[in-house]
Structure formats: C-alpha cells, structure tokens
Structure 1
C-alpha cells in the first residue's frame, strides 16, 4: 500500500474554508510554508474527505468502499453524505469498487498491514469475520488486517483517532489510562500486543472534554505527508510535550503545529479532512 509518508498530493473539501475559517487560515498558511498546494475536491457535501474518498493501493490503483456508515443513517445527516462516484468522475479516477461498507478513517495503514476497528464488522453483518478479513486483505494486497475494539462512545468508530503507524514495526497509540471503560483498554492492549509490534503511547487530553464527540486533545490524528507532519495543537498544556515527542519520533521530518480547536470541536482533526495521495 501507499503509506502516508509517501504522499505528495493533498485533496480538501472547498467547504473547509467556509465552515472553519479560523482553522483554515492557520492550516493554509502551514501548507503554503511547506510548498503544498491543495486540490479542492468537487461535489463534496462535508469536509471529512478521508472517509468517503477511495484508499490508494499503488500510484495507479485505488479501492472505493461503499460509503454508507450507520452513524449517518439519521435523516438529519443525509444532506452531508458525499457521493464518491461523482467526485471520482470529476477527477477522472476509476477506483475498484467493493460492496464492503467502510470509511477511510477506519483504515490505518503501513506497507503490508492495516488496522481497523471492529466497527467494520458491525457495518457488514452479512460477512463472517473470516470472509470479511480475507476480502479486505485481498483488496489491499496486504499481509495482515489487524482488528481492534472500537473506542467507547466514538461516533464514527474510526481507528485513525486511536492508533497510527510510526513505521513498519512501531505503533503510536493514545494513552487510555483515563478511559472510564477499562475493559475496552484491556482488550485494546491485548489486540495490540498480539501484533508483535512495538507500541508507544502518546499523551492525549480527550478525556478532559465535556462531550464524547469533541476530538480536542487527540494529537494522534495528525497529517503525515512526504517530509512533513502537520500536528494538531489545542492550546493545552500537552502541546509542547507532544511537539517535542514528535520531533524525536519523526527524526528528519518537519513537525508543523497547526492550531485546530475550531475543527476538533466537531469531532475531527487533520487526518479526517485530508485525502493525501501519491502521484
């Protein structure tokens, strides 16, 4: 698979500037200073591009999941559902299409491994676990699909707000020591332990938020592109600690803080809004 650190092109929704002007101003400045000129995806109905856009397998291959998540079933959300086929047609992109229901935000990837939460099982009840994992593994051309428990009260059930690959052998995971549901924490740690990967914890202050759909403090939802990591910051005491930790972890990569409070209040941060690919 194409990994985040290989990507050099960024797609964003044109709605981002209108809905989150303060955030957009900060983000666009950071992009400009790092020589990244985003493309604006046509016909988007929401800003969370990673969810509905296809997943890149190679420079010429993409996989399009069926974008029909259960969290958007209530009628009030119907107007926010983008049609990826219309967007891809405008981009002259012809991805392989599967009937599997999943979001790109639930695809945390490295070259030969992908991590998804068990939400993908809930979204596809007609599949057995074995059949679904085998099919996704085949679609991605990977060696291993790792399933982890869904974080309690997480609206979307995505993995990219929980864990990220630092490299082929190392995972970054949120510090869940303050999570009220310690059974979830034990299950998560067991699932990660069984991968055989090294696991490094990142500070998080998401448990200070009054609402469970507030992503403020979720530093792990950074945007990683070729030579640069755009790191969300929140004007919280953990900011400086996390910036320093990222500078040590991502040696040789520019760490660019981006004030993200306006965006995070609505449950998503930098990886959520980004469709970053390699061209």
Structure 2
C-alpha cells in the first residue's frame, strides 16, 4: 500500500500556475486547467504556498496547514470552507476503486494498474468537484461598490463649519448631476466615519463609532452611529453589530474589504486574532485584507492617528487599486501594503509625484476622492502635484468623468472628500 501525497514542495504541487496532475503509484494523471482554475478562484489565488509538510497524509493536516499559512499571511478564509474543499479532495481519492481512507493516510493498492478505469473515475470526481467549488468559494462576497451608488450625503455640520466649501461643493454636485442631500443631527463633518456601510442594494451594516482619537473630546464631536442610522434608515434593512469601526477604515475593492489593522487595537484584540478576523468577515460579508498601520508617537508630524484605509488606497475598477504616496513617508510600510494587495491579484498603482518641492501637507489626500457611479471628484490644492494626481485617477478610471475640487481648508485637518461624504445607492 502506498500513501497518496499532495506534496507542496514538489514541482506541480498545489500551485495554480503549475499543478495540473496528481501521481498515483507513479502514474501521472493530467487534470484539466479549468478544474485548477476553479480551485484557484475558490482560494483567491492562495494555492501557491509552502505549508511546511512533505505531504498531507490526513484530512486534519491538510486543513491545519492551509489554515496556518493563511493566518500567517493575514488572509481571511474560514475553516469550514477550507475543510469543505479538503473533504472533497479526499472524498475524490476515497471513491477510486481499491483505495482506502482512514484517519492517518490515503492508500492506493499496489496491484491497481487499470489506468483507463482510474482515469474515468478521476474525471467523474473532477466534475463533482467543479460543480461544488463555485458554491464554496470562501466567505460570501458582497460585490457592492462605489460604481453602483447614485446619491451622496453630507453632514449638516459642513454648512455650519465650512459654509464656502459647502456652497462650492453642492454647486459642483448640481453641475455634475449628482443627487445629494444633508443628514441632520450629526456632530461633526466627517460623515463617512459614523454612517452605516452599505453592502447591497438594501442592506446596511451599523457599528459602534467610538474612535480613540476622539476620546479626549467627550460627547461634543461623537455622533451616535446607531441612533442616527435608526432615525435615517428607518425603512431600510439594517444589521447592528457590537464592533468598533470607522467607515473611513473600510474600502471596498472588487469583492474584498480593505481595513488597516488598527481595527484590532480599537476592539481590544490581539493583532490578527483569528476568531476576530472571522467575525469581521462575517460582519462585512466579504473577504478582508488587512493593511499594516502604526502610530508610535501621535505627536510626530507624519503620525497617522486615524488609521483609515481610505487615506491609503482606492479601488479603480477590475483588479486596479490606486495607492497614495505613502512611500514618501513610510517606504517599508508601503512595500508591505503593496505586497498584501498584489498577493490577492490586485494591480497596485502608486501615486508618486515628480515635482521639485513635494507638498506633503496635501499630496497624500488625492487618494481620498469621491466616486458616485461613473463620476469622480478629486480634492485639489493649487500645487504642482494636482495635475499629476488627476492624470493618475483619469488613467485608472478611463470610463469615468473626473473633476477636481479645491479643498485645502478640509485637508489641513486630516481628511478630504471621501471623509466628508457618504455615497449610497437609493
């Protein structure tokens, strides 16, 4: 009797670009590319890994090794989905005539040499696998995104605190035929941070809004996210969750939600706690990508006390993600952000500026633009970087109408257009 091993270190092992066969008793059996494409999609391009085993001799080893690697890479993929796929693979082997499966190994009889019969059995179970995999392709993915929105809200405080900006912005909304409205009863202009997250046409997620950067301000600037959602979305389908989030720390990118790992600190959790990772994915109905965040000294000029993903990245359609010029201040962190996005198949376009005297007070903020359907408004600041930023965004969004909007007064306080708007589909 011989063990059936899926050897991650061997040429052609579970890697989407090379594995097209399995080996039984020294006989290679080719598997169609589309089968492995389905598996590759199911794991979101995570098959190309070394899990540290010479092979997976049993079910638990397979699940455990995959799970450990995914956790190490901060990738969210629930254990039940991993287990289901591994179970299908082992069931496929078990159904081969003469093979046995127990708690320790999969074995194939030495005397089983009817290669054509074996090929037919493999093909039958390939079909079963292909039918099953699309239904278990990881955490259910919400594909709702900015391109589907058709209405934008601003806080009633914007008119009170920044009347000229309010007047110019609403005028631009009208010029671009963007429908808009105001939300009453807010306590600051940063409406993105406390309003619910829309995950489908008629479903919103409501969370606790209690950021650490407002701890010293008492209740004066702290909008109650639950009460305002109940009052404003009284006819909508809402789910309330006991989790602390900032809307500005949630960026939708092609079926993924991108957050900085500050979310763990805000919820009193160890970084990348697996149970909490699963919970976030459940709340957001999506796969989650965590970006690194640090703030060693909040008093430093470049310190990021907010930890918002919408100040780092913006989805630009298909697999394109625009990334801010974070590299200018934190090159190592920028490398890690880019790596984590590219690891799941995104093309990352960094907005780096070629100007004699970069203006770091403002040039980080272009990424914080607003998109409503196919209309984009980009914050501008009357600096040389403006022209290059607009080109980056227009090139990345070729089917969109892109306009600039001067926003120095808002940006000097740490936010920009995405922060002061809340776009939804009505």
Match of 1:82 in 2: 223
Quick one: distance in 1 between partners of 2:319 and 2:377? 22
Report deviation, 1:111.
Answer: 4.2
Match of 1:177 in 2: 327
Quick one: distance in 2 between partners of 1:170 and 1:223? 16
Alignment: residue pair count: 272
Q: CA, structure 1 residues 207+49, in 2 after alignment: closer, same or farther (shift >3 Å)? A: farther
Q: Which residue among 162, 183, 186 is the counterpart of 2:335?
A: 186
Match of 1:73 in 2: 215
Q: CA, structure 1 residues 119+126, in 2 after alignment: closer, same or farther (shift >3 Å)? A: closer
Counterpart contact for 2:326–2:364, Cα < 8 Å: no
Match of 1:35 in 2: 177
Match of 2:370 in 1: 223
TM-score, normalised relative to structure 1: 0.90
**5+ residue gaps in structure 2?**
1-141, 296-302
1:101-121 per-position Cα deviation (integer Å, ceiling 9, x unaligned): 111100000341010001001
**5+ residue gaps in structure 1?**
none
Question: Which sits farther off after the overlay, 169-178 or 182-191?
Answer: 182-191
Quick one: distance in 1 between partners of 2:173 and 2:280? 33
User: Which one has more relative contact order, counting CA pairs under 8 Å at least 6 apart?
Assistant: 1
Q: Which residue among 324, 348, 354 is the counterpart of 1:199?
A: 348
**Where in structure 2 are the equivalents of 1:1-279 lying within 5 Å?**
1=142, 2-74=144-216, 76-91=217-232, 92=234, 93=236, 95-126=238-269, 129-142=273-286, 144-150=287-293, 152=295, 153-179=303-329, 181-203=330-352, 208-209=359-360, 217-279=364-426
SS of structure 1 residue aligned to 2:228 = helix
Q: CA, structure 1 residues 13+43, in 2 after alignment: closer, same or farther (shift >3 Å)? A: same
TM-score, normalised relative to structure 2: 0.60
**What is the root-mean-square deviation in Å for CA atoms of aligned residues?**
2.1
